[in-house]
Amino acid sequence: MTDTKLTSLLKQMTLDEKVNQLIQLAAFFYEGTTSEGKITGPMEEMGITNEIIHNSGSVLGASGAKEVIAIQDNHLKNNRLGIPLLIMADIVHGYKTIFPVPLAIGCSWDSDLAEKSAEIAALESAVSGIHVTFAPMVDLVRDPRWGRVMETTSEDPFLNSVFARAFVRGFQGTDLKSDKNRVAACVKHFAAYGAPEGGRDYNTVNMSERQLRESYLPAYKAALDEGCEMVMTAFNTVDGIPASGNKELMRDLLREEWGFDGVTISDWGAVKEMVPHGVAANEGEAAFKAIEAGVDIEMMTASYVKNLKSYVHNGTVNEELIDESVLRILKLKDKLGLFENPYRGADKKLEEEIVLSKAHRKTAYELATKSCVLVKNDGVLPLQKSQKVALIGPFAHNGDILGPWSWGGSKEDAVRMDEGFGKKVNSSALFVAQGSDIETGTEEQLEEALAAAKKAEVIVLALGERSDMSGEAGSRADIRLPEIQLNLIAKMKKLNKPMIAVLFNGRPLDLHGVIDEADAVMEAWYPGTEGGKAVADLLYGDVNPSGRLTMSFPYSVGQVPVYYNHFSTGRPKGAPDAQVRYVSQYLDIPNKPLLPFGFGLSYTTFMYSEEKLSSQTMRTDEPITVSVKVTNTGMVTGEEVVQLYVRDLVGEVVRPIKELKAFQKIKLKPGEEKIVTFTLCEEQLRYYHKDLDFTSDAGFFTVFVGPNSEEVAELTFKLI
């Protein structure tokens, strides 16, 4: 439709019809769903009438071609102007074919494959009737206590931005109207939801504008620069005001400064939550603040539909604000082609053919192999197929490896660890025992596991967190493995056999009691549908591990937040003239994390040499190059992530001790070498100065090149 047609449609709408476009309710409110769609229970309590439902603009969480078509049919029968519904859902890392959780995808450092995973997720959801996904989630996180760390890709703004772009490209493609196999993306949670105090979900976020702009905003901006159609507000406060009512954030920054003219949506109930936040006396005031801030759709509460009409009538709210929001929603519907075809990609037959197809599982497998990170190996890996192996632990025979944001996926479709191992060794050489549950266990379970382990030459422990121990509302203060599993490790250790721990979890854990006991440790995260196969292939060396951590693993929870790109202090530990006591340090633990950002092992080794700069000086209009020779010095082919960091030695405000600026993932055969070259330009050296000017400083910079954020060679250049 042309803009004129959309505007004329808007003109035909009554105020009621317009306001109703601004509410989003879950699928169970709608007729046509398999669940009850009657005016009972929640609807009545919320003040939702049938009229509101028939005129609402979008639905949350409907899926399946049959169900979505029925909902749309019912809606269109009852909607006076025939305005179709938008169907939105959380397709975060796969619809039915589940890919590794985003934090694991980050560890692949492979944005092409990440893009492909989003493309597949889009295709599966599009044929199942979904139009918009509430992804990518790009909140920067530095605190592993927060349960939602698994939803993001890293602790680094640059890397998060790379993945934000890749996900948006994968979900949306290049033309949503003609390409029915894609879905619109909604970047979330704007802004800084990943920094709640104490790592407790929904908690206060408190940070300077400089910090916000420098570290937290870039990934949202990157998603929008890539054309992301929607933005979701965060639950938290930003500078004292909840995001959903924060005019400076949602209108001044997002719309005015960044020029975003797409649709914004509150997070679930976040408009009404301004009341308990204590910035609105009642729902009405919350609605007022949200619409003034430019929040178009209110998700799952009814403050807009209950209040905006009277606010327009009594002059509190200008009807133009509502018109703007409705027009944005109509434009999105048009962009998705819904006025021509309200069912869009929904296709029962295709759904049966495509969803969870072999090809999709293959990509899920590939991404899972690239996402697992080998963090310790004292020569016990790869396993030999001739070895008798005991596979022990609560994840040995457990399909709970999809992760907390995989509602469309089914645990039954997941390849479990014992299935993966079953393909490697004869059943007579494989002994599987649970050992314990995730948080509890019995003497019998332990005895059975010990008996199994005694029969084997090598013990593989499959350990971790139940998926609901991370994710939304999944914050933990103690981020060790549950006691019962630490006990299982200790008991197994006494058998004096080679022992490998494989971890299934949604956050960087405190690995004490694991890494010091096991001879090898693999962080498998929640690897998704093909998890068991991918992990077995990695452990047996059929695939060489290539994942690298994108979040630091703390030495202990007392260090948190601990991240590689921190500032220096006036009393840095380890400086040549540093005192013994009066330096910035803990008396009882190291300053450094247990495992640094960028770290991961391979079954081969790589040597870095001949680090060079093309010039010792950089001019504003003349980039320099940084090169390094990387040689595979081991016996097998492997992939390496070559990383480049920079430090501005003297800034107007303090600068991080290192910042990732570029990386390249390369594959080398044994003995093969490659010169890896990066281009570095002035633009990459800019930062927010005292007055928030985004510029660079003339002066000296250190460049670091290496396999992770700690093991680096240093070079210096001057920007003139």
| CA angle 362–220–330, rounded 5-degree value | 90
Q: For the segment 489-518, give every residue that binds ligand BGC (CB under 6 A).
A: none
Considering the complex, state which of residue 90 and residue 110 has its C-beta at the smaller distance from ligand BGC.
90
| 553 lies in the binding site for ligand BGC (CB under 6 A) | no
> In whole angstroms, how close is the CB of 235 to ligand BGC at the nearest point?
7
From the list 90, 267, 296, 537, the catalytic residue is 267
364: its two tokens: 């899920």
H/E stretch holding 417 reads helix 417-422
Considering the complex, state which of residue 266 and residue 369 has its C-beta at the smaller distance from ligand BGC.
266
Of residues 105, 602, 121, 604, the one with CA closest to residue 371 = 105
Give the strands of the sheet with 499-504, arranged side by side: 373-377, 520-523, 499-504, 458-464, 389-392, 430-433
Considering the complex, state which of residue 186 and residue 458 has its C-beta at the smaller distance from ligand BGC.
186
Considering the complex, state which of residue 88 and residue 364 has its C-beta at the smaller distance from ligand BGC.
88
430: its two tokens: 């494989």
| 268 lies in the binding site for ligand BGC (CB under 6 A) | yes
92: its two tokens: 């975060």
Q: Phi/psi at 705 (nearest 5 deg)?
A: -130, 135
Q: Are 57 and 297 in contact (CB under 8 A)?
A: yes
Considering the complex, state which of residue 73 and residue 472 has its C-beta at the smaller distance from ligand BGC.
472
Q: Are 328 and 262 in contact (CB under 8 A)?
A: yes
Considering the complex, state which of residue 214 and residue 267 has its C-beta at the smaller distance from ligand BGC.
267
Considering the complex, state which of residue 64 and residue 547 has its C-beta at the smaller distance from ligand BGC.
64
Cα–Cα distance for residue pair 483/480, rounded to 1 Å: 8
Cα–Cα distance for residue pair 687/689, rounded to 1 Å: 6
Among 31, 252, 472, 697, binds ligand BGC (CB under 6 A): 472
| 134 lies in the binding site for ligand BGC (CB under 6 A) | yes
Q: Are 127 and 95 in contact (CB under 8 A)?
A: no
366: its two tokens: 């590939």
Per-residue contact string for residues 221-240; x = within reach of ligand BGC by CB under 6 A: --------------------
Q: For the segment 626-685, give every residue that binds ligand BGC (CB under 6 A).
A: none
Q: What is the DSSP string of 300-349?
A: S--HHHHHHHHHHHTTSS-HHHHHHHHHHHHHHHHHTTTTT-TTTT--HH
62: its two tokens: 């409907």
Q: Are 160 and 140 in contact (CB under 8 A)?
A: yes
Q: Is the N-terminal amide bond of 189 cis, ω within 30° of 0?
A: yes
| 468 lies in the binding site for ligand BGC (CB under 6 A) | no
Question: Which residues, including other chains, have CB under 8 Å from residue 437's CB and lie 6 or more apart?
Answer: 394, 445, 484
> In whole angstroms, how close is the CB of 145 to ligand BGC at the nearest point?
17
H/E stretch holding 119 reads helix 111-127
| 258 lies in the binding site for ligand BGC (CB under 6 A) | no
> In whole angstroms, how close is the CB of 267 to ligand BGC at the nearest point?
5
> In whole angstroms, how close is the CB of 38 to ligand BGC at the nearest point?
22
Q: Are 291 and 308 in contact (CB under 8 A)?
A: yes
Q: For the segment 288-327, give every residue that binds ligand BGC (CB under 6 A).
A: none
Quick one: DSSP state of residue 601?
B
Considering the complex, state which of residue 323 and residue 472 has its C-beta at the smaller distance from ligand BGC.
472
314: its two tokens: 């009594």
Q: Are 136 and 154 in contact (CB under 8 A)?
A: no
Among 67, 90, 523, 640, binds ligand BGC (CB under 6 A): 90
| 28 lies in the binding site for ligand BGC (CB under 6 A) | no
Catalytic site includes residue 267: yes
Q: How many residues bind ligand BGC (CB under 6 A)?
A: 7
**Amino acid letter for position 687:** Y
> In whole angstroms, how close is the CB of 290 to ligand BGC at the nearest point?
16
Q: Would you call 133 helix, strand, or coil by DSSP?
A: strand
Per-residue contact string for residues 180-209; x = within reach of ligand BGC by CB under 6 A: --------x---------------------
Q: For the segment 94-123, give every residue that binds ligand BGC (CB under 6 A).
A: none
Per-residue contact string for residues 49-68; x = within reach of ligand BGC by CB under 6 A: -----------x--------
> In whole angstroms, how close is the CB of 208 to ligand BGC at the nearest point?
25
- Assign residue 372 a region: left if phi > 0, alpha if psi is -120 to 50, beta otherwise? beta
The b-or-e profile of 127-153 (16+ CB within 10 A means b, else e) is bbbbbbbbbbbbbbbbbbbbbbbbbbb
Considering the complex, state which of residue 267 and residue 400 has its C-beta at the smaller distance from ligand BGC.
267
Considering the complex, state which of residue 170 and residue 393 has its C-beta at the smaller distance from ligand BGC.
170
> In whole angstroms, how close is the CB of 126 to ligand BGC at the nearest point?
18
Considering the complex, state which of residue 263 and residue 641 has its C-beta at the smaller distance from ligand BGC.
263
> In whole angstroms, how close is the CB of 652 to ligand BGC at the nearest point?
37
> In whole angstroms, how close is the CB of 134 to ligand BGC at the nearest point?
4
Cα–Cα distance for residue pair 662/644, rounded to 1 Å: 5
Matching residue, tokens 């090169």: 627
Quick one: DSSP state of residue 148?
G
Among 67, 155, 214, 267, binds ligand BGC (CB under 6 A): 267
> In whole angstroms, how close is the CB of 266 to ligand BGC at the nearest point?
10
Q: Is the N-terminal amide bond of 561 cis, ω within 30° of 0?
A: yes
Q: Would you call 715 helix, strand, or coil by DSSP?
A: strand
Q: Are 394 and 557 in contact (CB under 8 A)?
A: no
> In whole angstroms, how close is the CB of 42 to ligand BGC at the nearest point?
15
Residues tagged active-site: 267
Site of interaction with ligand BGC (CB under 6 A): 60, 90, 134, 188, 267-268, 472
